Every structure is written in C-alpha cells, then in structure tokens.
Structure 1
C-alpha cells in the first residue's frame, strides 16, 4: 500500500489519514458557491481550514455539480491562477491541490505553486492530461466519472458498479505506470455518474479498491447521496457526512476531501485512538 506522497519535495505520511479542505471559487457550486468572492474571504477560509488541521487545500474554479454551467478554459484560468498565487504568497508551507480536468490549467497552477492535480474526469476530458502529469511529476488524483458534469446524472447505468469502476480505474493506472507517474491517488467518484444506490454500493465496498495498492481519496462531503435519502439539504448534512467519512476511513481511505475540516480531523483522531487500543 502506498503510504507517502511527494509534494514539492515534502514527503507526506499517509499511514495516518489526512484531510483535504475544499475551496470552491465558483459562483454555482452545490454547497459553497459564491461564498469566497474576494481575497479576504478566501484567506480567512483557508486560514481556518489549515488551523483546523487540513493537510491539503483543494482549489476549484469549475463547478462540477450535476448540470453545472460549462465555462471556458480562459475563464477557469482567470479564476484559479490568481488564487493559487495569493495562497502561496500568504501561506508559506501550503500544499495546494488544483481541481481541474484541463491539462493547461493544471500546468499553470503547478507553475504558480500548487503541488497536486485533482482530475474529476480521470483523463477523459483532456487527452494531454496524463502526459502533463508525467511531465510535472506531481501527485495525481484520478477520479472515476461516467459522462461529464452536464450529463453524468442522467440515468447512470452499471451492471456492477464496484467492478466496473475498479476496471476503468485500473486500465488508466496501467497507462500512468507506463508514463512513470509515481504518486497516484484513487477516487471512485461518489456522485459523479452514480445513483444513490450506486454510491452506497461503492461506500460499502470501498475496501475492495485497496487491491490496487494505491492511496484512496474519498469525497462525500454534504453530497446528495447523503441528504436526499434523509430528506434534508446540504446545509443540514454535516452529521451524515461525518458518518460516511467514518465508514470511509474504516475501509481504508487515506485522504478525506471535505468542506468541514475540524469534524473530519475528529473522525480520524477517534479512529486512530481505537486502532491504538486494538493494537
């Protein structure tokens, strides 16, 4: 099992799970769209997440919620690169993940000081992504998605969602291995081209993905797979998120991608205490 990541020369130990705080600089993200509109709001939020225990900050400028509006590459660059520059200038040791499926955006952000690429499309929406990651030699989060953000929730179909997601990711891992990409993190893509039932089947069998011997990231924070069955809204879904994060860590997740850093850190701390008692 991969237990470390090399981020800008800093070795991150994943033997204890880590938390990735979400910073959406979009007007239309499903939970926090439009919250961070100026430098002070951005800096305050990032400072709060780092203080709460986030190891990584995931910055995204393209909303990937189901049916979200498509924006151009130029607009995405205009939104995201100045924020990466701002964060690097204000937090000397920050580890920034850039949430993009576009290789040019990824490269510009890495050049501006980010250290990781988080690709919701797993290379499907930009043929140059894999070679760009190999060139940059940075950790790469490869996520499974059926379709694209505009179409992914229009009646997604699988015969067996667990084995199909595993197979699709494994094919891409083989390509990345041939390109000598060393630090790859798996994300099964909760909510990306999956029904509620598909999502829970993946959560139930998340430990199956340990067979790839790679780090696993889980992102279920306040998603509809949690709030829809409970007949609540994203703002009310923190408790459900905490429960799902607990299950994910118990099944081998090494990075939790969340809106609520403090609560995710508490999940990891309590589970570590339990594991120490067992050991």
Structure 2
C-alpha cells in the first residue's frame, strides 16, 4: 500500500500516525492553542520528533454545530501555517483538512502533500478536479450534510452497508478522473450516534474489501468521553484502546492529537503481529 507524497513513496502496509494540528480558535480539543508561529513550529516539531509520518493541518473546525468560516479566512489561516512548518521542517508531509477546492488548491501550491476532505467532494463539486489536476493523495471521509447539520442526519437502515456503497461510488468517480492514491475515513463522530460509531468500529474490516488504506480518527472524541463519563481532556486512555482495536480491524493511519502514545500503540501492535 504505497502512496506518493510529493515524490516520496510512503508504505502504509505498516501503519502510520497522522498528528493533528488545528490553527483554529474553536476546535473541540485544541482550539486556540496554536495561534502564532512559535506555537505552530513547536507543536509540529514535537509531533515529528515523536514519530508522526504526517501532520494534518486544519483551519476550519468540523465539530458539530461549528461556526461558519469564509473561504478567504480559511486560506489566510492555513497558508501561513504551511509556509512556517515547511520553512523549519522542509521534509514534513502535510495533510490539509478542508472540504473546499480553493483551499485545497492554495494549500497544494504552498507545499501540502495530502488533502483530507471530510465531505469527499460532497460540499464542493470542484474538489475531485483539483485532486486529479495536482495528483495528490486524497482522504475521503464519510459524512452526511455539513458540520452544522450532520448530527441530525443519523437515520440509517444499515449504516455499514450504506457506507460501503458511499465509498464504492466515491472510489469509482475518483478512478474515472485518474486519481490514484485514495484513503478511506469512516468518519467517526460525523452524522453518527455514539452507538453507530461503535458499530462502525466493530465492523470496520468490511472497508478492506475496497483494497484501500483506511484511516481511523477517534482521538479524544465524544464517542469515548461520553461513554466513559469524563471529558476530552481525560480521553487519552480511551483513545489508545480504540486505536488498538482499529489496528486489529485493518487501520493503516491513526489520526491523533497525541502522537507519542499512538506510535507506541503501533509499535506494540506490530510486535505482536511480527
């Protein structure tokens, strides 16, 4: 399972860690922590030194009922963050968490390696064309609606079956445009109840039928802290447990806030599995 990131082939047959770095004032866990250059450089360096293969930059919070951010403001947040990280860490592979084609375009032209789209093109019909034109790896997440409406769109007859169909259609469209490097994200917490999140995790190996790498993003999410009756700040242990389960189900990328712990999780998982 190789993906081409700016000419560098990354082997996902051995699971990798993607560290989360939000340059937003309102993300559910780390909102507002990384607002200036020094903070961004420090956190990026920390994640890379701890073993992150990728850093996922976001400039628009996708938490439920997130406030609207203009396209212009999103670009003005994300581009300087890309520039400052690549200035200090030129070999860093940056993933950009956006559902807007214009933001994706500006980010790729600034040096980003991957686009991570929570809507898989549903919220911007130009996104697939941008990915095809620039030939970058594309993470396609499952979601219904948008961050403002998704939590009201949780009515499924068979959630995993419907998600498999959703991804099959997205892969077909991407392949028709010549997009080669695709990664699937089940979208834990997006248009899913807590029970549905756990059902998807329990059956996540089904997505391996599509023969594409699967990303698991459960880090500190409400499916953990609501179940444990604690908070996002107290959900690291629960995150590690679910990350381990995700690895047993075939996850190839763990998208996390806490890189060191996720790298340790993969190291021990690999030890058991030879």
Q: Shorter-chain-normalised TM-score: which range?
A: over 0.9
Point out where structure 2 has 5 or more consecutive residues left out of the alignment.
Answer: none
**For 2:85, which of 84, 87, 95 is the aligned residue?**
87
Q: How does 1:127-146 map to 2 (within 5 A)?
A: 127-146=125-144
Question: What does residue 225 of structure 1 align with?
Answer: 223
1:65-214 alignment runs, 5 A limit: 65-154=63-152, 156-214=154-212
* 2:44 is aligned with 1:42: no
Superposed CA offset, 1:159-214 (max 9, x none): 11101111111101100011010000000110000000110000000100000000
Match in the other structure for 1:236:
234
1:55 aligns with 2:73: no
Q: Does structure 1 retain, via aligned residues, the 8 Å contact 2:23–2:77?
A: yes
Instruction: Report SS of the residue matched to 1:117.
Output: strand
Looking at structure 1, the residues matched to 12 and 120 of structure 2 have their Cα atoms a distance apart, in angstroms, of: 22
Asked if 1 retains the 8 angstrom alpha-carbon contact of 2:57 and 2:94, the reply is yes
1:256 is the counterpart of 2:248: no
Partner residue of 2:14? 16
TM-score (norm 1): 0.97
CA offset at residue 154 of structure 1?
2.1
> Aligned partners of 1:25 and 1:128: how far apart in 2?
24
Structure 1 segments unaligned to the other structure (5+ residues): none
Q: Report if aligned partners of 1:26, 1:33 keep a CA contact under 8 Å in 2.
A: yes
Shift of 1:37: 1.3
CA contact under 8 A between 2:220 and 2:233: conserved in structure 1?
yes
User: Is the contact between residue 17 and residue 256 of structure 1 (CA under 8 Å) also seen in structure 2?
Assistant: yes
Mapped partners of 1:43, 1:89: distance in 2: 9
TM-score normalised by structure 2 residue count = 0.99
Q: Counterpart of 1:57 in 2: which secondary structure? A: strand
Q: Give how far 1:15 is off.
A: 1.4
| C-alpha deviation, 1:155, in angstroms | 5.3
More off after superposition, 216-225 vs 148-157 = 148-157
RMSD: 0.6
CA distance in 2 between partners of 1:175 and 1:74 (Å): 28
Contact 1:155 1:195 in 2 (8 A): no
- In the TM superposition, structure 1's runs of 4+ consecutive aligned residues that sit over 3 Å from their partners are none
CA displacement 1:210-261 (0-9 Å, x = unmatched): 0000011010000001110111000000000000000001110000000000
